[in-house]
Amino acid sequence: MINKHPPIVITCGDPAGVGPEVAVSAWKALKDEIPLCIIIDPDFLPKNIKIKIFDQAPVTSDIDKNILTVIRHKFTEHRVPSKPNPKNADATIRAIERGVQFVKDGQCSAICTMPISKSILKDGANFPFPGHTEYLAHLDGENTYGMMLVNKYLRVVPATIHIPFKDIIKCLNAELIEKTIKTTHQELINRFSISNPSIWISGLNPHAGEAGTIGDEEQKFIVPVIRKLQSEGYNLKGPISADTMFYRKKRREFDAAVCMYHDQALIPIKTLDFHSSVNLTIGLSFIRTSPDHGTAFDIAGKNLANPTSTIEAIKLAWHLSKKEQEYQ
């Protein structure tokens, strides 16, 4: 039975992608358990679904579980699945802004964002951010943030996020690694109720540099950060070779892994369970989750998109928001 806890707000993402359809599928799966509302142009929804339209975030008591609750949000152009239109870029960005504001104002308990296309947003609206994560941090006025990927097997956090591989070494430094570890540590305590979280840190180079013989970045700025934070009471281990830290026995020994770059963190978690992995933005003042996949323009509108990651993202957002309410 749905209670009076504020609803989860879903943003539709790029309307030409799979966001609208997986959001509807997730609503069908969760409508008996979780109050949901979606920011979208009502014209983008299937005609055989009953909808109730609001202009602002509804209160939970106004949500009928058998009718999709829609927050009206107009786009410039019609939705054409698989054919992204830069003319809809500005409205896509504004939908994210509205969703964040609903959560920050307490009208919604958390936000779950559907996938966007950064290139389309850049082409259509000069979007200056490399991804959702960085834009949400901007909206929150937060400089210390991160991207945690979560599933039943693993939690991983990359220190560098949406940057080209050639730029990783330019951006990676002791300050960033320390911030990432501290943010991860605090999130595990605050969001996951782990009192003394164990965090393992990967190296950057093969074999974690092998004592400086395959790169010296570990010795220069990874090891000193780990030793410093260990002396302050953090439960850390590393640097560990990334190719040995994710097999089953090792995974049982840590609560989260901090890796040096995007694919180093995301490949193992997606390999273990692609469809159920969830993206949780850490370090924000509000709860934001998203499915751990992209717009999938190639299958949009073909009823092929798997909604499992979106379902799990909404469930995690709901769980974390309920826990947050309990502590207030």
> What pLDDT digit, counting tens, does each position of 223-261 carry?
999 999 999 999 999 999 999 999 888 888 999 999 999
Q: What is the pLDDT of residues 46-91, one digit of tens each?
A: 999 999 999 999 999 999 999 999 999 999 999 999 999 999 999 9
Cβ proximity of 243 and 264 under 8 Å = no
Per-residue pLDDT tens over the stretch 269-303: 999 998 999 999 999 999 999 998 899 999 999 98
Q: Examine residue 239 and say whether the peptide bond preceding it is cis (omega within 30 degrees of 0).
A: yes
- The Cα–Cα gap between 24 and 73 comes to 16
The rounded mean pLDDT for the chain is: 94
Q: What is the pLDDT of residues 9-32, one digit of tens each?
A: 999 999 999 999 999 999 999 999
Contact predicate 125/224, CB 8 Å: no
Is the predicted pLDDT of residue 135 greater than 70, yes or no? yes
| 135 vs 321: CA distance, rounded Å | 21
Q: What is the DSSP letter of 61?
A: G
Name the more confident of 120 and 143. 120
**Confidence at residue 328, expressed as pLDDT on a 0 to 100 scale:** 59
DSSP state for residue 215 in the 8-state scheme: B
pLDDT at 1: 39
- Residue 322 sits at the vertex; the CA angle it makes with 319 and 323, to the nearest 5 degrees, is 85
Residue 325 confidence (pLDDT): 76
Q: Which of 120, 112, 64 is nearest to 92 (CA)?
A: 120
Looking at the chain, the whole-number percentage of residues with pLDDT higher than 90 is 90
**DSSP character for 232?**
T
Distance, CA of 86 to CA of 313 (rounded, Å): 27
Distance, first Cα to last Cα, the chain: 23
Q: What digits encode the pLDDT tens for the residues 170-224?
A: 999 999 999 999 999 999 999 999 999 999 999 999 999 898 999 999 999 999 9
SS3 state at 51: strand
- Compute the average pLDDT of residues 130-154: 93
* Residue found by looking up tokens 């039975």 in the block: 1
Give pLDDT, residue 247.
85
Q: Which domains does the chain have, with CATH numbers?
A: 1-142+285-328 (3.40.718.10), 153-272 (3.40.718.10)
User: How far is it, in rounded angstroms, from Cα 277 to Cα 258?
Assistant: 16
Q: What is the pTM of this model?
A: 0.94
pLDDT at 327 > cutoff 70 = no
Helix (H) or strand (E) holding 147: strand 146-150
pLDDT of residue 303: 87
